[in-house]
């Protein structure tokens, strides 16, 4: 069976009429009918109800149709991914973890689109682990994540270490403190961490801050993402440790305090295929470093 058999079959099903399907496929009706019969012979199964005026599918035909659609979609995806990997098409597909959206990512994307309008930029929200897989199968070309992951086929550049801060419900006793807080100050509250899956994640970097000091929070509440964590903090359910860039998300019912401890940081890591020497990638890296200079952000 060839892919063309699937395309012909899908066209006939969707048009429910062999003449219209032949028109859509830019071919004559007799060869199309022959191809459909040949497909049924190959499968040893009847796909259409023969005595119906409209072309109707048999049960087998319906099964075959849903799977044929999947195979054709995969074939199209393979074609576009391969084109991207080989750079026939000028494009850059970017994977990112949600929390980078509160940092410089929106500026990076806007600036890249302005400066390189000939490059088609696409965005995919993906965990760091999913980014590694997506890099190897060509779904993305570059990933921005927070977890250091070893893979010989993937190159990693730590762009900067972002300081963690603590989010407290407005009016919390600790929000009056003049000094930066320490992890020890936080052990009497419920700690709200995110994302709860997939792991490891930013949540584990926060927990390591306690573990490395031999401390443990009173209790832990795991949630999906930072916005939910902040909502729960606002509701007085606990406190949360968040990347420093979240500070920009000011809300009246949450106050932020700095944390004392050199190690209380989370890296922003750019990953890409080790074999990728494309111009688009070096443009992206160059643009990020220019932005860091402009914004006076400490970076490596
Ligand atoms: C940043 O916040 O530093 C950043 C985030 C995503 C891409 C590049 C930089």
pLDDT mean across residues, the chain: 93
Q: What is the mean pLDDT of residues 270-299?
A: 94
Domain match, 117 and 166 both? no
User: Which residue is listed with tokens 């420093």?
Assistant: 244
pLDDT for 52: 64
Q: What is the mean pLDDT of residues 227-237?
A: 97
Is the residue at 94 inside a domain? yes
Beta-carbon contacts of residue 232 (< 8 Å; ≥ 6 apart): 192, 221, 223, 238, 240
Alpha helices by DSSP H, 186-225: 202-211
Cα–Cα dist 293/300, whole Å: 11
Domain match, 14 and 154 both? no
Percent of the chain's residues with pLDDT above 70: 97
Domain end (from 68, 84, 100): 84
Query: Does ligand 1 have an atom closer than 6 angstroms to the CB of 97?
Result: no
Domain match, 167 and 228 both? yes
Beta-carbon contacts of residue 251 (< 8 Å; ≥ 6 apart): 230, 234
φ/ψ region of 58 (left if φ > 0, alpha if ψ in -120 to 50, else beta) reads beta
Residue 86 scores a pLDDT above 90: no
Interior CA angle at 10 toward 5 and 14, to 5°?
155
Nearest by Cα to 44 from 29, 33, 60, 32: 60
| Distance from the Cα of residue 300 to its chain's centroid | 25
Span from the CA of 145 to the centroid of ligand 1 (angstroms): 9
Residue 50 scores a pLDDT above 90: no
Query: Does ligand 1 have an atom closer than 6 angstroms to the CB of 186?
Result: no
Query: Does ligand 1 have an atom closer than 6 angstroms to the CB of 159?
Result: yes
Domain match, 257 and 170 both? yes
Span from the CA of 104 to the centroid of ligand 1 (angstroms): 4
Cα–Cα dist 66/54, whole Å: 19
Span from the CA of 268 to the centroid of ligand 1 (angstroms): 6
Q: What is the mean pLDDT of residues 34-52?
A: 91
Q: Which residues are 254's β-sheet partners?
A: 169
What is the pLDDT confidence band of residue 80, given thresholds at 50, 70 and 90?
A: confident
pTM: 0.73
Cα–Cα dist 97/186, whole Å: 26
Domain match, 113 and 191 both? no
Domain match, 38 and 15 both? yes
For 39, the domain range is: 3-84
Domain match, 271 and 231 both? no
Contact 134, 271 (CB under 8 A): no
Is the residue at 300 inside a domain? no
Domain with 257 in it: what CATH number?
Answer: 3.40.190.10
Query: Does ligand 1 have an atom closer than 6 angstroms to the CB of 104?
Result: yes
**Which is more confidently placed, 161 or 248?**
161
127-185 pLDDT, tens digit each: 999 999 999 888 999 999 999 988 989 999 999 999 999 999 999 999 999 999 999 99
Contact 249, 225 (CB under 8 A): no
Task: Count up the domains in the chain and report the number.
Answer: 3
Domain end (from 52, 84, 116): 84
Domain match, 235 and 289 both? no
What is the pLDDT confidence band of residue 281, given thresholds at 50, 70 and 90?
A: very high
* Distance between first and last Cα of the chain: 54
Query: Does ligand 1 have an atom closer than 6 angstroms to the CB of 203?
Result: no
Residue 297 scores a pLDDT above 70: yes
Residue 51 scores a pLDDT above 80: no
Q: What is the mean pLDDT of residues 52-58?
A: 80
Domain match, 275 and 132 both? yes
Is the residue at 75 inside a domain? yes
Q: Report the 3 state secondary structure along 128-184.
A: HHHHHHHHHCCCCCEEEECCCCCCCCEEEEEEEEEEEEEEEECCCHHHHCCCCECHH
Span from the CA of 34 to the centroid of ligand 1 (angstroms): 57
Residue of 140, 268, 291, 296 to test ligand 1 pocket, by largest number of atoms within 8 Å of CB? 268
Domain with 34 in it: what CATH number?
Answer: 1.10.10.10
pLDDT for 89: 67
Span from the CA of 41 to the centroid of ligand 1 (angstroms): 57
Cα–Cα dist 300/289, whole Å: 9
pLDDT for 76: 83
Domain match, 231 and 258 both? yes
Residue 30 scores a pLDDT above 80: yes
Ligand 1 atom with least separation from CA of 96: 6
Which two three-digit tokens encode residue 19? 């003449």
Other C-beta atoms lying within 10 Å of the C-beta of residue 45: 14
Is the residue at 170 inside a domain? yes
pLDDT for 54: 73
Is the residue at 71 inside a domain? yes
Cα–Cα dist 248/137, whole Å: 35
Domain match, 46 and 186 both? no
Domain match, 114 and 68 both? no
Domain end (from 84, 105, 120): 84
What is the pLDDT confidence band of residue 88, given thresholds at 50, 70 and 90?
A: low
């Amino acid at each position: 069976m060839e892919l063309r058999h699937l395309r012909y079959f899908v066209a006939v099903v969707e048009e429910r009429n062999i003449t219209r399907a032949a028109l859509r496929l830019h071919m004559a009706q007799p060869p199309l009918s022959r191809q459909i019969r040949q497909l049924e012979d190959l499968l040893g199964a009847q796909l259409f109800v023969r005595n119906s005026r409209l072309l109707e599918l048999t049960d087998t035909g319906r099964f075959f149709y849903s799977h044929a659609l999947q195979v054709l979609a995969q074939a199209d995806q393979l074609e576009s991914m391969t084109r991207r990997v080989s750079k026939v098409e000028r494009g850059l597909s970017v994977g990112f973890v949600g929390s980078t959206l509160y940092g410089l990512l929106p500026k990076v994307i806007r600036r890249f689109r302005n400066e390189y309008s000939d490059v088609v930029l696409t965005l995919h929200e993906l965990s760091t682990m999913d980014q590694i897989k997506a890099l190897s199968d060509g779904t993305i070309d570059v990933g921005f994540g927070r977890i250091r992951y070893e893979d010989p086929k993937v190159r990693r550049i730590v762009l900067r270490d972002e300081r963690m801060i603590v989010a407290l419900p407005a009016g919390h006793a600790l929000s009056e403190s003049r000094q930066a807080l320490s992890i020890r100050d936080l052990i009497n509250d419920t700690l709200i961490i995110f994302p709860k899956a997939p792991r490891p994640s930013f949540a584990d970097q926060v927990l390591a801050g306690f573990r490395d000091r031999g401390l443990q929070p009173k209790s832990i509440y795991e949630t999906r993402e930072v916005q939910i964590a902040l909502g729960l903090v606002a509701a007085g359910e606990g406190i949360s440790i968040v990347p420093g860039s979240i500070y920009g998300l000011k809300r009246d019912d949450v106050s932020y305090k700095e944390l004392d401890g050199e190690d209380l940081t989370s890296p922003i890591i750019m990953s890409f295929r080790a074999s990728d020497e494309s111009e688009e990638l070096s443009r992206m890296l160059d643009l990020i470093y220019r932005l860091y200079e402009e914004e006076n952000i400490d970076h490596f």
